[in-house]
Every structure is written in structure tokens, then in C-alpha cells.
Amino acid sequence: MLLVFSDDWGRHPSSCQHLVQRLLARHQVLWVNTIGTRVPSFSLSTIRRGVEKIVDWSLSTRTGCRESSNPSVLRPRMWPWFRRRHDRWLNEHLLTRAIEPVLKSAGEPVFAVTTIPIVADLIGRLSVRRWTYYCVDDFSVWPGLDQATMAQMERQLLQHCDDVIAVSENLVEHIAGNGRSAHLLPHGVDLTFWQSPSAECRLQREVEHLPRPLIVFWGVIDRRMNVDWIRRLSADLQEGTILLVGRVDDPDPALLAIDRVRHLPALPLQQLPALGQMADVLVMPYADLPVTRAMQPLKLLEYLATGKPVVCSDLPAIGAWSDCLDVSTSAEAFSSLVRKRLKGDLPAEQLLARERLRLESWDAKALQFENYVLGQPLPENNVQALSFALQS
């Protein structure tokens, strides 16, 4: 059995969900929805998320487990703080009481995976054969989190887990700074999905009235966005719309007030390939921050898979794919590159470079992930051969 601690199952398509979905045919999965890692406050977003959690808990069975064949989704009640010793004790008690009976009834070895540090206190408390930390972000620099507490719990997790997987070179270095080594496993992409948009798309009605061309970003809209770059692009455009699609999470208040900027709420994953085809240019205008230098955005390969021009800020995650897109280092360059791509098709050299996307399938990544979690890593020189085999 795989025991997974991560974002809420089905809430948004995280890398962990992409990987685990491809393992359901071979493993029973117990997925634990947690309360997240943000500091509770009296903001509208916190209140809304709190209501979502209360509703989620109320829909659970008496054990907190939503009955489904695979995965089984556990929604344990939790205390929304971790800063003080008794906060952590209470959450350890609540989680252990909810999870341990399920593990004991499984009748098979349990392999745990977590993408979040808040389960550090559970190692040694649950009937788990092996713990793997799947590091997808540096929580110690993420805006809105209790950064010091997350860093402390991550250090504890790294001291006691059996193995570590990281999604970027920056995070491998971050883990090394805490005295551990990590397997590098960058994100994958489903080329067929991104290149075959659904014929039925309600999005058409919401987008067709917007002035063209469309410059599109999808993802969480927060303080990582470079407002100065978007403002400069808006000022330089003669026509068109800068469309930001996704959940709004405390961005700079000036962002959504910029001329030509329009916002749509987060869309189901199935709608995003169609959105990609409607776009004239896809953009990723992140500011150069500690949190963005550490992250490996899922949307990077998704953008490239659409076949559309892509303009991104110069961040470490872009490095290996810089020949497939346009990289900018200033507001002026960002605006110029976007406007240049609006005038023509994707350059032939970028199109050719994107051919290697077929080596980055989620199926190949999931098999590597599975072997690491079970403690049977693939030899590194077999990874490329595996990718070719899964694509053929």
C-alpha cells in the first residue's frame, strides 16, 4: 500500500497526483488530505479555505475516509497550527488516530510518501515500512507560510525519512544543505493530452469576446507574479488581452487593475489544452525570488506541449528548456519578446528542440518514482531507454 500526504486529491493537478494516478493499477493508495501549510488569518481566502475543509470533513464517513476503490481518500480532522509544541502534539494525535487503524487493516507493507513537512512527527508513530520525502517546493521561502516552522519540520523530516526525491536541481542543492542527498525527478508531461483539446469547451463563450491577440498565463496568481513586467507589456500593446487564469491567492493588489489584464477563475485540467490553443502567446512572468528559483513549474512543459510560443522569466527551472522558448531578464525584454512572437509562428529551431518532450512522459516518471518509493531505484543509465520504451 502507498500512503500519500499531499494536496487535496482532485483539487488541482499536482505532480504528485499525476504520478500516483499512474500507479493505481499496481498499488492500493491511501491518500490523506491535510489542512495545508499556511498561517491561518482573518483573510477572505483563509475563511473560504476553512469553510471548504469543514464541508470536506462533514462529507466524510465516521472514520473520515471517503469510500472509493482506489485511491481511498482520508480526510482527518486537524488543528490549523504547528508553531507550538502542543499544536504539533495535537496534530500528531489526530492524524495517528485517523490513519493507524486503516494501515493495520490493510494487511500489507505500507510505503509512505509526503510532499509536505508537517507530517514529520508521524515517522515512528505509524505502521510504515519506508518513508519518502517528495520535495516539490522550498517551504522555508514560500510567501504566506509559517516559514520558520516549515523549515524546522522539514529538517526533522530529512533526519528521519528513508529517501528523498526532488523536482529541481535547486531543490537537490537545498536538500544537500540539510545533509541529505536526493534523487532528481523533474516533472513530466502528457503530450497527447495537451495536443488534443476537447471538442466541447465552455471556455469558448468566456474568451471569445476578449480583444485579440490573447497573451495567457494559467496557474496560481500570487506574489510571485512580476507586476512591473505585466504593466510594461500592457503599456506597449496596441491591442489585445493579458488573460490570467487561476486561483487568486493574495497577489499584489495592483496586478488585476492593470489595463488589458483580465482574470478567469481556475479551470478544470480538461479545459486547459483548449485554452492553450486559443492563446497567441503563453507567458510565465515570475519575479526573481527565492521561492521561484527553487520551484519547478508544472506549466512549463505543458506550455511547450501546446506548440505555442512561450515567453518566460530567467529562472533555474527554465535552463534545460531555454532552447524551446524565449527567456527574458527585464520588463523591456519581456514586452519585446511577447510582441515579437505575436507577429509570427514558433521558430523552427524551437519547434525542433521541443521534440525531446516525448522523453518526459508521466508514465516514465511514475515508474522511476515507484522504484524510489519502494527502495528499488532504477540505474540512471536505464532512464532514457525506459522513456523510449514507454513512448513506443
Residue reference for cell 512580476: 226
CATH of domain 2-188+361-388: 3.40.50.2000
147's enclosing H/E stretch is helix 147-160
For residues 99 and 34, what is the distance between their CA atoms, to the nearest angstrom?
12
Domain boundaries, the chain: 2-188+361-388, 191-355
For residues 366 and 353, what is the distance between their CA atoms, to the nearest angstrom?
24
CATH fold group of domain 191-355:
Rossmann fold (3.40.50)
pLDDT at position 37 = 63
Q: Which three cell numbers stand for residue 89?
A: 502534539
Q: Which residues contact 86 (CB under 8 A, 6 or more apart)?
A: none
For residues 263 and 249, what is the distance between their CA atoms, to the nearest angstrom?
13
pLDDT at position 74 = 94
Please give the torsion angle defined by the CA atoms of residues 246, 269, 360 and 187, in that order, rounded to the nearest 10 degrees: 40
pLDDT at position 245 = 96
Query: Which stretches of the chain score pLDDT less than 70?
Result: 36-68, 199-202, 377-392
| SS3 at position 358 | helix
| SS3 at position 158 | helix
133's enclosing H/E stretch is strand 130-135
Q: Indicate the pTM of the whole model.
A: 0.87
- 2-188+361-388 and 191-355: identical CATH topology: yes
C-alpha neighbours within 13 Å on the C-beta side of residue 119: 29
For residues 350 and 321, what is the distance between their CA atoms, to the nearest angstrom?
10
Name the pairing type of β-strands 72-74 and 65-66.
antiparallel
97, 104, 130 from 126: Cα distances, Å: 10, 9, 10
Task: List beta partners, residue 111.
Answer: 2, 130
